[in-house]
Amino acid sequence: KAEFGWLFIPATAGIILGAYLSGKVAKRFTPTTTIGYGYLTMLVATGLNLAYNALVPPTVPWVILPIMLYTVGMAFATPSLTLLTLDLFPSMRGMAASMQGFLQTMVMTLVSGAVAPLVADSGLKMALGVLCFLLAGYFAWVTYARFLAGQASVRTKTAP
């Protein structure tokens, strides 16, 4: 149906734009900064999505624009997140990349099968679901970033 394009085209355009921007700033920003800007963009998009769905009846294209902005942020952060994951296993990058892809697929499968049916009847419920998963991902990132900072300070204290 023609309606599929209303979601697919903006979401894909957001992914392309986010990946392009991520590549453009890769030499200027640290991975941590890039990930931070990606999460900030996703948070703004989620806030817009929540506000729109709480206040206005959904109409195209306005209901889709926050999703496009979210995919920009997601694609902006993803390359740095992937590289940091691969750096955890420098001698097994292929396996790490395979496991990362497998885990992403499994989580998406579980969310699609278990969570999506619970929120499918309301745009506001969907927006709240996105917020919950965004916050879970952000807190996982913050925990990992603190771990990295702790590792760096341990290495500096033990250096001669």
Q: What is the pLDDT of residue 78?
A: 93
Q: What percent of the chain has pLDDT over 90?
A: 63
Q: What is the pLDDT of residue 88?
A: 85
Give Cα 114 distance to the centre of its chain.
20
CA distance 102 to 19: 21
Cα–Cα distances in Å, from 21 out to 66, 85, 97?
Answer: 18, 20, 22
Q: Does residue 152 carry a pLDDT above 70?
A: no
Torsion angle (degrees, nearest 10) of CA 93, 98, 103, 108: 130
Q: What is the pLDDT of residue 5?
A: 81
Each residue's pLDDT tens digit, 117-145? 999 888 899 999 999 999 999 999 999 88
Q: What is the pLDDT of residue 131?
A: 96
Give Cα 116 distance to the centre of its chain.
17
